[in-house]
Amino acid sequence: MARSRTRPPRRELRVGTYARLDRDRVRRIGVPEVILGQGKTVPHLLGILRALAARGEGAIVSRPTRSQLAALRTQRRAGLPIVFRAGDRIVRLRGPLGAEYRPGRVAIVTAGTSDVPAAEEARAVLVELGLRPVLAHDVGVAGLHRLLRAVRTVERYRPEVYLVFAGREGALPTVLAGLVRAPVVGVPTSVGYGRGGRGEAALTAMLQSCAPIAVVNIDAAVPAALFAAQHFLLSAPARRGRRAR
């Protein structure tokens, strides 16, 4: 059974006046809170990570900014137990995240090479949670043979959820959702220029899909990964008891 380390965290952890960490979240919803780096001041982010590290807890930071990354590298040299993932787009504070899942596969499929970095974020989060994604990159829609061959390979692993990354016109999730027996989540990526560029066309096209897909925001690889992870929740203690209610 896949599990991502143990010890569930306590209810609320206050850091300075500026943060109240919701340490009960993983118990309530089955996935840990991922800390959004972007938008936080460097001192705030460091304060949060140090407080967690001091308690031996783990964490995931997404979308760190350049100045945050610089500060984090300094902190790592000073002993903060962090590692960088997905080309520095994900920062992992070592320590238990408290999430446990039954085995099963999430497929991560990308339309083009430019979508790979965003997909790597999702992969890194799933791996940190103890899940094992299956990958197929640069599958395109302008060359159907490429696509069909890649789908056949991925389907061998019988994925239970698909995360499909596409920028530009964002057609891939629609095409894929006509081919596979599992829920497809479209993840538009900020690829493309001109009108509808930076993922806008892809997002809107996915919302208009003639196939039954669900969508997350542009580049929202991490929310997509967490959404996928919830499909593999054990009805472990926290849900065993629910029965009893």
Of 69 and 182, CB closest to its own copies? 182
> Which residue's CB is nearer to its own copies, number 96 or number 104?
104
Q: Does 70 bind its own copies (CB under 8 A)?
A: no
Give the DSSP per-residue string, 123-184: HHHHHHTT---EEE----SS-HHHHHHHHHHHHTT--SEEEEEE-TT--HHHHHHTT-SS-E
Nearest approach in angstroms of CB 203 to its own copies is: 6
CB 61 to its own copies: min, Å: 12
Centroid of chain to Cα 161: 13
> What is the nearest approach in angstroms of its own copies to the Cβ of residue 235?
7
E-assigned strand segments in the chain: 12-15, 19-22, 34-36, 59-62, 82-85, 90-93, 106-110, 134-136, 161-166, 184-188, 214-215
Smallest gap, in angstroms, from Cβ of residue 215 to its own copies? Answer: 5
Distance CA 136, CA 155 (A): 11
Q: How far is the CB of 241 from its own copies (least distance, A)?
A: 6
Within 104-123, which residues bind its own copies (CB under 8 A)?
Answer: 104, 111-114, 116-117
Between 66 and 77, CB nearer to its own copies: 66
Under the criterion CB under 8 A, does residue 168 sit at the interface with its own copies? Answer: yes
x/- track of binding to its own copies for residues 202-221 (CB under 8 A): xxxxxxxxxxxxxxxxxxx-
Kindly identify the residues of this chain, within the stretch 10-69, that bind its own copies according to CB under 8 A.
11-12, 17-20, 22, 24-25, 28-31, 36, 38-41, 44, 48, 63
Separation between Cα atoms, residue 199 and residue 194, nearest integer Å: 11
**CB-based contact 69:49 (threshold 8 Å):** no
What does the block give as tokens for 170? 């964002």
